[in-house]
Amino acid sequence: MSYRITVIGTGYLGATHAACMAELGFDVLGVDFDPAKVASLNDGRVPFFEPELEPLLRKHVESGRLRFTTSYQEAAEFGDVHFLCVGTPQRDGEYAADMSYVDAAIEDLVPLLTRPALIVGKSTVPVGTAGRLADRIAELAPPVPVELAWSPEFTREGLAVEDTLRPNRLVFGVRSEHAEKLLREVFAPVIDGGSPVVVCDYATAELAKVGANSFLATKISYINALAELCDTTGADVTLLADALGHDERIGRQFLNAGLGYGGGCLPKDLRAFMARAGELGAEEALTFLREVDAINMRRRQKVVDVTADVLGNQWIGKRVAVLGAAFKPNTDDIRDSPALNVAGRIHLHGAAVSVYDPKAMDNARRSFPTLRYAESVMDACQGAHVVLHLTAWQEFRELDPAVLAKTVATPNVIDGQNCLDRPTWRRAGWSYRGLGRS
């Protein structure tokens, strides 16, 4: 049977999920309460940057298989399977996740349902949320059978299309064989493509997502903690990471020391996980995550400190070029961006900061309007006393340091991502500083 699918919340996750569901052959209706986003998506334009997404979106909007709406009424009448992809940001001034968007989606959708439905949560939520929502759905007493499943999403921004069509695993948190069967049917092409499935209860599914993100964050902070030791001992953290990473039990991925993690997921998921553990009386289990977070936040100050050192502790009258604004390459997402955080701190010290990013300029301008934004790398580096490499875009890695040296006032580079080719830069006359690579 071919199910009709809705995707509620069409941001980075939902827009990608909607286009990929259409690619799998389903008729899909995306729902978002932001009319500008809906209009853009209906025109086949992705309102953010995600490689490979726009052609896929356009293909399926043009074929008529994919549409977007602001109407829950339309969604309720259309869908058999409703994917919940709304945001769960960190609450202002707290560690806990803001669940108001998830709750609102359930309140708005469920009373309107006129067809038997499976609601599938994909947003990252505190453990216990799915159980709570299942109770709420029962209270709302929809006139048709409605079930809830939780299938957390593991896609990476920048690789989201590939990750959605060929995920390294699917996790189905379900309460019935019927829900599992339905999910297996919806994801049949993905499962046939070789993605393994873990079927479990709600809590395990919810924990799978925050558990994975906490592990990745811990790995990053671990190597960054070692970078601090490298700075005090003269060791080189990139060689150290190679030495550790050859051990298959450890692995080399996520052992790149530098400016630390950011974005709309890892930092807030870690904090929400700690907050939830506290609510459950299990705070002690996750106290180590406080340290993971603290190590990560120290990296930003570390780059500022190295910059101060390079500038001889003189900020006034100094020009600082910042290469990168996105929280990582291949996205325009600047949520909790370490690069912009560093740019902002340096700006507050009184230096003239000029930022360039291949894709994230509009978002950066909106969120940090007081910084100067350059037209190009060359423009950002014009007359700079130090260049900070803060987002590891390929474009930055391919720069010719000999050419760039002619633009700057003094050829100082701080490689916050430890991925520029140090010998090449030094040969071109640059003073190169990495992190944990003294």
Binding of ligand NAD by 8 (CB under 6 A) = yes
Under rule CB under 6 A, residue 85 binds ligand NAD: yes
For ligand NAD, the closer CB: 9 or 436: 9
Cβ 337 to ligand NAD shortest distance, Å:
14
315 binds ligand NAD (CB under 6 A): no
315, 345 Cβ separation under 8 angstroms? no
User: With respect to ligand NAD, which residue has the nearer C-beta, 155 or 337?
Assistant: 155
List 20, 265, 381, 419, catalytic entry: 265
Q: Is 265 a catalytic residue?
A: yes
For the segment 372-411, give every residue that binds ligand NAD (CB under 6 A).
none
Q: With binding defined as CB under 6 A, does residue 10 bind ligand NAD?
A: yes
**Contact in structure between 85 and 20 (CB atoms under 8 Å):** no
* Interacting residue with ligand NAD among 6, 40, 69, 124 (CB under 6 A): 124
Residue 181 assigned ligand-binding role: no
- How many CB atoms sit inside 10 A of residue 194's CB? 9
How many Å apart are CA 92 and CA 330, to the nearest integer? 28
β-pairing, 146-150 vs 352-356, is unpaired
Residue with Cβ nearer ligand NAD (149 or 304): 149
Site string for ligand NAD, 244-273 (x = CB under 6 A): --------------------xx--------
**Interface region with ligand NAD, contact rule CB under 6 A, candidates 7-15, 55-63, 219-227, 294-302:** 7-15
Q: Give the contacts of 403 (CB within 8 A, at least 6 positions apart).
A: none
Can you list the alpha helix ranges (DSSP code H) found in 123-251? 129-140, 160-165, 177-186, 188-192, 202-233, 237-245
Give residue number: closest CB to ligand NAD.
11
Nearer to ligand NAD, 333 or 415 (CB): 333
Q: In what order do the strands lie in the sheet with 197-200?
A: 66-69, 27-31, 4-8, 81-84, 117-121, 146-150, 170-173, 197-200
Contact region with ligand NAD (CB under 6 A), list: 11-19, 283-291, 352-360, 363-371: 11-19
Pair of tokens at residue 127:
């453990």
Cβ within 8 Å of residue 35, ≥6 positions away? 70
Contact present, 296 and 225 (Cβ < 8 Å): no
Element holding 181 (H helix, E strand): helix 177-186
Q: Measured in Å, how far apart are the chain's first and last C-alpha atoms?
A: 61
Number of residues that bind ligand NAD (CB under 6 A): 27
Stretch that binds ligand NAD, among 61-69, 99-107, 236-244, 245-253 (CB under 6 A): 99-107
Site string for ligand NAD, 184-203 (x = CB under 6 A): --------------------
- Read off the tokens for 45: 């334009």
Query: Was 268 annotated as part of a binding site?
Result: yes
Q: Is 31 in the site for ligand NAD (CB under 6 A)?
A: yes
Q: Which is nearer to ligand NAD, 14 or 262 (CB)?
A: 14
Contact criterion met (CB below 8 Å) for 230 and 171: no
Residue 349, class by beta-carbon neighbours within 10 Å (0-12 exposed, 13-18 middle, 19+ buried)?
A: middle
Interface with ligand NAD (CB under 6 A), residue from 37, 276, 300, 433: 37
- CB count in 10 Å sphere of residue 85: 27
Q: Measure Cα distances from 289 to 137, 227, 267, 295 in Å.
A: 33, 18, 10, 10
Is 11 a binding residue for ligand NAD by CB under 6 A? The answer is: yes
- What does the longest C-alpha to C-alpha distance in the chain come to? 73
State which of residues 40, 90, 155, 337 lies at the interface with ligand NAD (CB under 6 A). 155
Q: Least Å distance between CB 34 and ligand NAD? A: 4
**E-strand stretches of 51-145:** 66-69, 81-84, 117-121
Q: Which stretch binds ligand NAD (CB under 6 A): 80-88, 168-176, 190-198, 313-321?
A: 80-88
Say whether 263 counts as a known binding-site residue.
Answer: no
CA separation for the pair 324, 296 (Å, rounded): 18
Joined together, the tokens standing for residue 68 give: 């977007």
Catalytic sites, residue numbers: 265
Residues of this chain that interact with ligand NAD (CB under 6 A) are 8-14, 31-34, 37, 85-88, 101, 104-105, 123-124, 153, 155, 157, 160, 264-265
Residues at the binding site for substrate are: 154-157, 209, 254-258, 262, 328
Residues at the binding site for NAD(+) are: 32, 37, 88, 124, 157, 268, 335
